Amino acid sequence: MKKILIISLTALFIQVKAQILNVESFRIKTDTTGLAGKMGLNFALTKNTQSLISIGTNIHIQYKTKRSLYLLYGNYNLLSSESQKLVDNSVFHIRYNYKINKIWRWEFFVQGQKNSVSKIEFRGLVGTGIRIKLSKNDKFRYYFGSTSMYEHETQSGGQIVELWRWSNYFSMSLFPTKTFSFISTTYYQPAFSHFSDYRIASQNSLISKITDKLAFKTGFNLNYDAQPVIGIPKLQYNLISGILYSFGK
């Protein structure tokens, strides 16, 4: 059994969370069965013309058996000034993965989220589909996934949107050396009723190990929503970097 605890010390701001949750970044790669997890916490207080408080926390628990994988992920981010909440985002995700054979997997998931920046009061998702291992060795891993999911979204102002989406993703993880890794996942999510309503997300991270316990991480996320909430730009992106400290067996 492999246990991991990671604390991320980022810059003194909270990144704008993507509308599409990158579950690939939460999968703990291990060939052993049992329990594993990650936790993160950051806090910052800034005082100039006014006070700013930022809080970020996340928890990830994964349990693996010979054929099944259970994954739970929760995240909360807050950036608040004296007069208002500038960022108030949260997400909760539960996923079950069943290994059919060496290549094919079946998955089922439930997700709830809130994103104040994108004016999403609540978005609930329920979906199921396949995951295919395209190739895997010690230097690289490639996966493709395709699911259908039901989406219920309550937007700022009270507007409710309900529809079915087709969610597809391609994920790759590259490990050219023992100290360097690159992980990238790209999603394409059109609505079944009209393909002109689609979302594209590309989420990428570079991790460079400084020591066995310390690493430097840079991430770049890009999101495009063809039909966003009124007043929200179609294209959003962010760049963030920080230090990762890990300990455990």
- Give the separation between CA 14 and CA 85, rounded to whole angstroms: 12
d(CA 36, CA 38) in angstroms, rounded, equals 7
Q: Is the per-residue pLDDT at 90 higher than 60? A: yes
Among 27, 29, 28, 18, which Cα is nearest to 202's?
18
Q: What is the CATH number of the domain that holds 212?
A: 2.40.160.40
The token pair that represents 64 in the structure block: 């693996």
pTM comes to 0.75
Per-residue pLDDT tens digits for 169-227: 999 989 998 889 998 999 999 999 999 999 999 989 898 988 877 888 888 989 999 99
To the nearest whole number, what is the mean pLDDT of the chain? Answer: 82
In angstroms, the CA 71 to CA 108 distance is 11
H or E segment and range at residue 6: strand 5-10
The average pLDDT across 23-46 equals 72
Which among 106, 69, 113 has a CA at the least distance from the CA of 89?
113
Q: What is the pLDDT of residues 124-148, one digit of tens each?
A: 999 999 999 998 787 888 999 999 9
Q: How many CB atoms lie within 10 A of CB 70?
A: 14
Number of structural domains the chain divides into: 1
24 by DSSP, 3-state: which? Answer: helix
Look up the domain containing 74 and give its range: 5-247
Q: Which residues pair with 97 in a beta bridge?
A: 69, 107
105, 100, 77, 241: which is closest to 171 by C-alpha?
Answer: 105
